[in-house]
Structure 1
Amino acid sequence: MTSTDNANSAPHYLSLPDARTVTTQAVRAAGHALDNALREQTMMCLTADPGVGKTFTLHLLCEQRPALHALRLLPRPQARPDDLRHSLHRALNLPGHPPQDAGICDDYLRHALAKPPRLLAIDEAHQLSTSCIEYLRYLHDDPLPQVTILLLASRPRLKALRSQTALLSRVTTWHHMEPLEADEVRTVLPAFHSLWQNTDSHTLVRLDDMWAHGNFRRWAALTHQLQGHRRRNPAQPPDPATLLRRLHPPLALAT
């Protein structure tokens, strides 16, 4: 069973016109795990294969919890602790420039994070350096900040996070998002975009089996192709069955 929110309530891959946000089983399961982490103010790691939708899920879960004070950071690869300090300073809308002295800056951040309780979400967390992981451990262990730390990581890169001993004893939930199941494809895709509303279930399942594999990014690429066909051939309705024929051999869509 799926539920649908307002169109474009969160940023869709390829910024698809008329795409709708669909709360899937995977999103609900991730939301349940996040709510538990928020109640306990612990660390959580949300993982998924590339394209399944972990970043989109983060945006959606934050939208569905308007009372949640969320700070979302996307650190550059091999960022330093000072980079995290400065990003937090900006995300918290603190006045002026971050103090150059790390200790003074940390005191400002600690008191700013004392209340209200906040979610600190770090996207692409597998790119964090060991020193940044140690800084997050410092924030987690400090009794003053009321912060739940959510780490988002690609499953193929999960080994990099699990090798950080500072995390293993502090992450209470390692939650993996699964791709769409075949049965869910039949209901999610028509809700996701009107181009799929009149497509028979057999064609949807075949497209998923041959190309998308339950991966929302790949489904967005297929939708983008159908929209392109409609723009180029306005007199001809888009035909999803044509995609099946073109998938022999597999179509080189972006992943």
Structure 2
Amino acid sequence: MPQHFTNLTEAKTLETDQLALTRRIIGDLADKLACGVIHGSAGTGKTFAVETALEDLRAGHGGRDPMRTHTLVFTSKPTMRQLAEELVKTLTGAKPRSGNRFYLITALIELLSGPPRLLVIDEAQRMNGDCLEQLRHLHDHGDTRFALLYVGGDGCWEVLSREPMLRSRVFRRLPFQPIERAEIPALMREYHPVYAGVDDGLLLDIDDTYAHGTLRDWAAFTHTAADLCHEAGRERVDADIAANAYTLLGGGAR
């Protein structure tokens, strides 16, 4: 199981609707060798959800045969040659013998024509039109057998949807959203023991003041609050613990 943000001890994985949908979508892509997109603002839990679903896929959970997965992430906008080189390196574990793009594409078609696999392009908003077209060409090729998942943050869908040839091939798409306010109290009591028995009003105040439905912000707050509870000899969060946590986290400002 992927680690929780900040390695928070005693935190439980929240079985949110978005986590369940991520598992379903990645399973569907694997079954159909199709193309999909999962996107949303930072901190909404998409990375954890995707990694959890990929782990399930590699392990063969859900009655499926285990499937190989490969994830690529670029720190800046790659060229078509850089994309092809990284793909070959990811699939083989070795630097390609030649940097010639046509050699690389031929090698990729051969590599991707073997056992079915899932290729994940993380931070997909960094892709340009040429790179997206190159991936589409590889995915559409009659000899290749792989599913393709684009994952990205703000602006991801806007970038991908500008390419009509890609947009028309998207089989599944999931936009990640912050947790609905009404769901916060029940989810947080499930998330960590420091919220057991804490009333709805305080949990909603924490969300309104600091977390705003964002799982990463809830993780940061919970890590801080759990430390404060331990130092104060308290088992759960109260108004004083919350106030002190706000101070340590910048006064509640995001």
Q: TM-score range by the shorter chain?
A: 0.7 to 0.9
Cα distance change of structure 1 residues 107 and 165 upon mapping to structure 2, 3 Å threshold: same
Match of 2:63 in 1: none
Letter in 1 for 2:237: D
Residue ranges of structure 2 left out of the alignment (5+ in a row): 60-65
- Identical aligned residues as a percent: 24
Contact 1:55-1:123 at 8 Å conserved across structures:
no
Contact 1:44-1:149 at 8 Å conserved across structures:
yes
Letter in 2 for 1:13: F
Match of 1:241 in 2: 239
Provide the TM-score with structure 1 as the length reference.
Answer: 0.83
- Structure 1 residues 238-247 or 146-155, which shifts more? 238-247
Match of 2:53 in 1: 61
Contact 2:124-2:156 at 8 Å conserved across structures:
no
1:224 aligns with 2:223: yes
Report Cα offsets for 1:206-250 as digits up to 9, x if no partner.
32233322210110111122134246x254556342355465996
1:24 aligns with 2:16: yes
Match of 2:158 in 1: 159
Contact 1:185-1:205 at 8 Å conserved across structures:
yes
Count matched residues. 244
Contact 1:47-1:54 at 8 Å conserved across structures:
yes
Task: Note the C-alpha offset of 1:59.
Answer: 0.3
Report Cα offsets for 1:52-87 as digits up to 9, x if no partner.
011111101012221131111111221112222232
- Structure 1 residues 196-205 or 27-36, which shifts more? 196-205
Secondary structure class of the residue paired with 1:22:
coil
Secondary structure class of the residue paired with 2:14:
strand
| CA distance in 1: counterparts of 2:243 and 2:233, whole angstroms | 21
- Structure 1 residues 133-142 or 75-84, which shifts more? 75-84
1:15 aligns with 2:16: no
Secondary structure class of the residue paired with 1:99:
coil
| CA distance in 2: counterparts of 1:69 and 1:155, whole angstroms | 28
Match of 1:140 in 2: 139
Contact 1:46-1:176 at 8 Å conserved across structures:
yes
Match of 1:116 in 2: 115
Secondary structure class of the residue paired with 1:23:
coil
Task: Note the C-alpha offset of 1:204.
Answer: 1.9
Residue ranges of structure 1 left out of the alignment (5+ in a row): 1-8
Secondary structure class of the residue paired with 2:9:
coil
Give the structure with the higher percent helix.
Answer: 2
Contact 1:115-1:146 at 8 Å conserved across structures:
yes
Cα distance change of structure 1 residues 243 and 212 upon mapping to structure 2, 3 Å threshold: farther
Cα distance change of structure 1 residues 84 and 11 upon mapping to structure 2, 3 Å threshold: farther
